[in-house]
Structure 1
Amino acid sequence: MTETLDATDWAILREVQSEGRVAFTELARRVNLSASATKERVRRLEEAGVITGYRADVDLERTGYGVLAVVRLKYPGPGTRHEPLRRLLEARPEILECLRTTGDDCYVLKVATTSMGHLEEVVDELAAFGSTTTNLVLSRPLPLRGPRPPGPTAS
């Protein structure tokens, strides 16, 4: 089910995506609502599944995971069972994100490792499921961000 969001909902989403630990009183000030109305709006967005959780952004290099790569995985053919791969994805903490895609590649994975040797180990394990292509990430000119309101004037 798609939730209909108004300008205030989008303002709340923008604020909590940039600062998930903002106090309700401060959030209310930023979106021009009372604290109780803001708290109710956030609760409604959570219950509707629009807000699915709150996370901390972590600097990978400062945690020792300075090698970031994108690994594309192509399964050998149609009808391949994907459950063994899903178990590996859950078991390997180095795999930060996995997208199932259309096109030549079946999966695109974001992988963070401590070294090139560590990356090689992860890629070798993934290669048991099909052919892989690995690209090292040099920088992140646009870090992960959340959705913005639709339309040409979205900012």
Structure 2
Amino acid sequence: MLDDLDRRIVEILAEDARISLKALAQRVGLSSPSASERLKRLEERGVIRGFTVDLDPAAIGYGLQAIVRIRPLPGKLHIVQKLIEEIPEFSECDKVTGDDCFIGRLHLRSIDQLDGILDRIIDKAETNTAIVKSQPVRRRLPPLGPA
């Protein structure tokens, strides 16, 4: 569980992971050493796993996104999972319950690129693809308040 101060630290870092320790400390009303210790404990507990860059795929030429549901053929689950892990255009993939085993998000430059990727999987799995029109909710933190 997070106390109010930890929640505030995480919220500030989610807005700007590059904030200086001094500025973070000022915003939460702590000294720099106290803020540093809080941050260290959040990392040690695994609450904060890392600091990252929020990249816009379209800005580097990946203007197309697709969601692919993947149902491996019998006996092909591990082969399909390894293939997915090796294809860099898969920016995310979840192993799920239900009819499909995997749901992945692909960032692509073209439909032709999508075809090439699906061709690598098609003899090992059934796929169902949807092209993303927009993303009304981008990846965000889960609610940080008390349950």
Matched-pair contact (CA < 8 Å) for 1:74–1:105: yes
Q: Structure 1 unaligned segments of length 5 or more: list them.
A: none
Give 1:81 deviation, angstroms: 5.0
Give % identity: 34
Map of 1:7 onto structure 2? 4
- SS of alignment partner, residue 47 of structure 2: coil
The structure-2 alpha-carbon separation of the partners of 1:127 and 1:31, relative to structure 1 and needing over 3 Å to count, comes to farther
Compute the TM-score of the two structures, normalised by the length of structure 1.
Answer: 0.87
Structure 1 residue 61 corresponds to structure 2 residue 27: no
Q: Deviations over 1:130-151 (max 9, x none)?
A: 1111011111111111122245
Amino acid at match of 1:19: D
Structure 1 residue 70 corresponds to structure 2 residue 67: yes
For residues 90 and 106 of structure 1, the distance between their equivalents in structure 2, rounded to whole angstroms, comes to 14
Map of 1:83 onto structure 2? 78
Matched-pair contact (CA < 8 Å) for 2:68–2:127: yes
Give 1:82 deviation, angstroms: 3.2
Q: Structure 2 unaligned segments of length 5 or more: list them.
A: none
Compute the TM-score of the two structures, normalised by the length of structure 2.
Answer: 0.91
1:115 to 110, 115, 118: 110
Amino acid at match of 1:21: R
Give 1:120 deviation, angstroms: 1.2
For residues 70 and 21 of structure 2, the distance between their equivalents in structure 1, rounded to whole angstroms, comes to 43
1:47 to 44, 47, 50: 44
Give 1:70 deviation, angstroms: 0.5
